[in-house]
Amino acid sequence: RWESFLLERFFEESLEVAISAGRKADSILNHSLKNTMADAAGDIDLFLTCLQSGEASVGVQHLEHAAASLWRGMRNCLNRQAYLHLVAGKYSISLQRINLRKLVS
C-alpha cells in the first residue's frame, strides 16, 4: 500500500513538472510568435502603402520580408519541443559541423 502511494505521488509530481514546463514553453513560443506576426503585419502594411502610392517595385521587398517573417514563425512552432526541453532542464546539446561560408554569405 505504501509503495502504491509513493508511486502515485511520483506520477503526480512528474505530471506537475511536465505541465509547468509545457506552460513555460508555450509562453516562450507565444512571445516569439507575437513578435514575428507583428513584423509580418508591419511589412504587409508597408507593401500596401507602396502599392497605393504607385511604388509597387519598392513594396515587393516588404512583401518578401513579410513572407520571411511568417516562415520564421512556422519554424518557431517546430522549435516548441526544444523550448520544452530547455525549460524542463532536459535539453542536450548536439554539435554539428557547418559550412561557415554558406552561413554568412
Q: What does the pLDDT look like over 18-47, one tens digit per residue?
A: 888 888 888 888 899 999 999 999 999 999
Q: Phi/psi at 103 (nearest 5 deg)? A: -65, -35
Mean pLDDT of 68-74: 93
Is the predicted pLDDT of residue 80 greater than 90, yes or no?
A: no
Sign of the dihedral through C-alpha 8, 12, 18, 19:
positive
Of 63, 60, 59, which is closest to residue 71 (Cα–Cα)? 63
Of 65, 21, 22, which is closest to residue 43 (Cα–Cα)? 65
Confidence of residue 62 (pLDDT cuts 50, 70, 90): very high
